[in-house]
Amino acid sequence: MTEHRHGEGEVMGRFGRVIGLVAAGALAGGALVAGGVALADGLPWSGGEHVSYVKERRTIPAGYLSTNVVCPQGQQAVGGGYAHLGEHDRERPVIAEVNAPSNTSGKPDEVNNAWSFLFMNDKEETTPIDVYVICAPIDG
C-alpha cells in the first residue's frame, strides 16, 4: 500500500485557491448589492417612505376568478402577487393564468394602477387567496 502525503506547498495551494474563491465570491456579492442599491436609486419614485401595498382577500369559486387590486389614487403598480391560503391538491391545483400589471382605465397608454389576476380552480370547493399590489407615486 502506498502512502500519499500532501506536501506543505500543495496544501497551501489548495488553501490559497479556497481563499481566492471566497474573496471572489465576496467581491461579486458586494457588486450585486451595490448594483441593487444603484438600481433602487434609479427607480421612478423618490424615497421608500411613499411605497405602499394593498392586500385584499378573494375567494376563488370552482371555475375561474378574474380580479384585480387597485393602487391608491396618484400611485402606480410596481409589483404584485398572491398567496394561496387553501389546501393544496397536487392533482388539481389552483392555477394563476394571469398575474400582471394593468390599468383600470382600459386605455393601453395609461399608467398601470392595478395588478390583475385570472385564477383557475379545478376543484369543487372554493379556495381563499390573498392578492397584493405594491404601489409607488406616479412621477410627474
**Cell for 66?**
378574474
Q: How far apart are CA 111 and CA 95, in angstroms?
A: 27
pLDDT at 33 > cutoff 60: no
Q: 52-74, pLDDT tens digit by residue?
A: 989 999 999 999 999 999 999 99
The verdict on 16 and 34 lying in the same domain is yes
**pLDDT value, residue 49:** 56
Residue with cell 400589471: 101
Q: How far apart are CA 126 and CA 60, in angstroms?
A: 5
**pLDDT value, residue 44:** 52
The verdict on 80 and 24 lying in the same domain is no
The verdict on 18 and 70 lying in the same domain is no
Q: 88-106, pLDDT tens digit by residue?
A: 788 888 899 999 999 999 8
Q: How many domains does the chain have?
A: 2
Taking the model in full, what pTM does it have? Answer: 0.64
Buried b (16+ CB within 10 A) or exposed e, 64-88: ebebbbbbeeebbbbebebeeeeee
Domain that holds residue 112: 48-137
